[in-house]
Structures are given as structure tokens and as C-alpha cells.
């Protein structure tokens, strides 16, 4: 979520974004590499590959990293990254939302493992609070998309 919040702030000023573009390129490589390793490991230890592929959560995970690999394939042919499909671009807001679901799942899972006893007692509050934060971020991103971005 921090990645997308910073990205939103940087997209308010395109000059600032172009100054730190290399930082975001390396960030995309690192984040997508970690997500890819996680997906491959979960697929390799699943009971059945068919059950793994038919789970909606796993489908969201694949959709979250798909734009990165599409852009890498396009980059190999053209010689430069233009970030037209990559999830850090402001244009495909759908992929940013899907990636935020992925990041929310990772952060939420780690947080609830640390506080597992507290989570058992206050589990409903934990789920509600994380969903409210996610909805607020998505509303903020969609508002920026509607009012602040013109192509």
C-alpha cells in the first residue's frame, strides 16, 4: 500500500516521477520477483494444480503480476520500457487495484499471524478495518483517475 500511496503522490507532479523513474523500475522488478517466487512456491506445494488454478485468490495473484511480464515481453522487442501496461502506470487503474488487493493480502496475513490471539478475539474488527482502508485507497485512486488525470 505504501508503494501505491507514494506512486499516487508522485503522479500528481509528473516532473517528480520522471526524476525517480529508475527507483520505480527497480522497485517493480523486486516486488514482482518476490510475488512470482511466492506464486510458484504456493503452486508447487498445492495438493492439486487444478484446485490451485480454480481458486479466485490465486487468479487475482496471477492478474496482479501479469502486466509486468507483458511489459517485459514488449520491452524486449522495442528496446525501452514505456510503462503503458505495467501496474505502476496510471492508465490501467484496474491492475493497480488488483495489485493493491495482493499487497493487502500479504500485509494482512503477516499482521494477523503476529497477533493471532488478538485476531481470534477481535477477528471481525480486523477484517472490517483492513477492508475500510482498502476501500478508502481505491476511492482515492479512482478519484484521482477521474478528476486529476487526462490522457
Q: Could you tell me the CA-to-CA distances from 147 to 60, 124, 135 in Å, in that order?
A: 27, 34, 18
Q: Is the pLDDT of residue 47 over 80?
A: yes
Cell of 79: 528496446
Give the residue-averaged pLDDT of 83-101: 56
Between CA 137 and CA 139 the distance in angstroms is 5
Between CA 128 and CA 117 the distance in angstroms is 17
Residue 63's pLDDT is: 76
Q: Which residues contact 142 (CB under 8 A, 6 or more apart)?
A: 93
Q: How many CA atoms lie within 13 A of 62 on its CB side?
A: 11
Q: Where are the domains of the chain?
A: 2-148
- Residue 83 or residue 96, greater confidence: 96
Question: If pLDDT is split at 50, 70 and 90, which confidence band does 30 have?
Answer: confident
Amino acid at each position: 500500500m505504501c508503494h501505491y500511496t507514494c506512486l499516487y503522490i508522485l503522479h500528481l507532479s509528473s516532473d517528480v516521477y520522471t526524476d525517480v523513474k529508475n527507483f520505480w523500475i527497480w522497485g517493480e522488478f523486486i516486488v514482482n520477483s518476490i510475488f512470482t517466487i511466492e506464486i510458484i512456491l504456493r503452486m508447487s506445494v498445492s495438493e492439486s494444480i487444478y484446485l490451485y488454478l480454480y481458486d479466485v485468490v490465486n487468479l487475482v495473484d496471477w492478474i496482479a503480476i501479469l502486466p509486468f511480464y507483458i511489459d517485459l515481453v514488449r520491452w524486449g522487442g522495442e528496446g525501452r520500457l514505456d510503462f503503458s501496461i505495467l501496474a505502476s502506470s496510471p492508465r490501467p487503474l484496474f491492475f493497480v487495484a488488483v495489485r493493491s488487493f495482493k499487497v493487502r493480502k500479504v500485509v494482512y496475513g503477516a499482521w494477523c499471524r503476529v497477533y493471532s490471539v488478538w485476531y481470534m478475539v477481535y477477528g471481525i474488527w480486523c477484517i472490517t478495518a483492513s477492508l475500510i482502508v482498502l476501500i478508502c485507497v481505491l476511492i482515492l485512486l479512482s478519484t484521482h483517475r477521474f478528476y486529476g488525470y487526462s490522457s
